[in-house]
Amino acid sequence: MGMTRVFLIFSVVFFYVLSPIYTLPIAPALYVFGDSLVDSGNNNKLMTLAKVNYRPYGADFPKGSTGRFTNGRTVADFIAEYLGLPYSPPFLSRDGPRSLTGINYASGSCGIMPETGKNVGGCISLWEQINFFQATLERDLPKEISNPTQLSEHISKSIYLFSIGSNDYLVNYLSPMSDTRKLYQPEPFAQLLIDRLSEQLKRVYNLGARKIVVFNVGPIGCIPAITRTHAHVGDCDENSNQLVTYFNDRLNAMLTSLTTSLPGSKFVLGHANSLANDAIKNPSKYGLTNVNNPCCPSMANGTATCIPNVNPCVDSRKHFFWDAYHLTEAAYSIIASRCFSDKSACTPMSIQELVKM
């Protein structure tokens, strides 16, 4: 009995020492913008094929199938936990006062370009997401914070998370249903995306945001949707990965420029691409055993979303990919935990350091 009690005490202490989760909020709110990598349920309210409010999605999430495109938590969910905040509720189904601790505006299939994702139905473009954010600031938050000075402080000290851009390649530039590839060579298209994204980030800044985290685009050439449809040598299609590299290289320079030119701003680059690549190339380092195949049986010969109501793999913690496009909770945990605490994974500072600025 004595040894058991000692072990339990040790376990509790061990957990609190290692866990980055704070019991009290260390930031006022987390506002999330992006695509299906961080969508928490907005697409449930839209007429779109990009909708996953069915099992096995949410198989490891306490509330089940919420519209998250994974088995459990997303990067945004983990970061909310680390900040000591509740998960940011989807804008289209939010519950009043919860807007005080953040809102999720992200929408599956959408991208930086306004036309991206429209071929599969409705989605909330990045422009529209920021319009909704403006509505939150002007309509909702003043009901909770009536003092203008306190409201301004709330906005400036909150964290703003962007994860967007992959669909501009997957369902736009690389799509046979799109003419974009005929109009732009890879590098001019990457620059077009950067210019459009920069415009939107400036809009958020002008609305009062100061602490902004932008994740770069992951190695799309490694996702099952690409590896199973594109001829390639090795584990990934490096031609697709190169397209993303043109964008990511420019993103780094753009965020540095914005921090310099916009007074009081702190733009942080989340290195999702290098973190994902490292996990794919060194799976045992992260406790993974399968980094090529989706955990859930997926439609279209394993190149789409999960087949409804079909059981997923036995242990999703060992898989990197959940379906043909999205990662497992385990994979998202790797990216979120590193970016929160490691300034080599989020540069020039970790999210933990950004909070203190």
pLDDT tens, residue by residue, 163-184: 999 999 999 999 999 999 999 9
Q: How far is CA 337 from the centre of its chain?
A: 13
pLDDT value at residue 21: 55
pLDDT in tens, 88-128: 999 999 665 567 999 999 999 999 999 999 999 999 999 99
pTM (two decimals): 0.93
Name the nearest CA neighbour of 67 among 46, 92, 40, 86: 40
pLDDT in tens, 211-251: 999 999 999 999 999 999 999 999 999 999 999 999 999 99
The CATH number for 130's domain is: 3.40.50.1110
Mean pLDDT of 298-311: 94
Exposed/middle/buried for residue 113 (C-beta within 10 Å: 0-12, 13-18, 19+): buried
pLDDT in tens, 8-43: 333 333 333 334 555 689 999 999 999 999 999 999
Phi first, then psi, for residue 161 (nearest 5°) are -115, 125
Q: Which residues pair with 294 in a beta bridge?
A: 321
Name the nearest CA neighbour of 42 among 100, 141, 110: 110
Phi first, then psi, for residue 155 (nearest 5°) are -65, -45
Any domain includes 194 = yes
Any domain includes 11 = no
CA distance 339 to 201: 20
pLDDT value at residue 2: 45
Any domain includes 5 = no
Phi first, then psi, for residue 319 (nearest 5°) are -100, 145
Any domain includes 12 = no
Any domain includes 171 = yes
Give the pLDDT band (50/70/90) at residue 302: confident
Any domain includes 197 = yes
CA distance 167 to 165: 6
Domain range for 272 is 20-356
Which active-site residues does the annotation give? 36, 323, 326
Question: Per residue in 226-237, is it b (16+ CB within 10 Å) or e — as a string?
Answer: bbbeeebeeebb
- Number of domains making up the chain: 1
Any domain includes 160 = yes
Any domain includes 15 = no
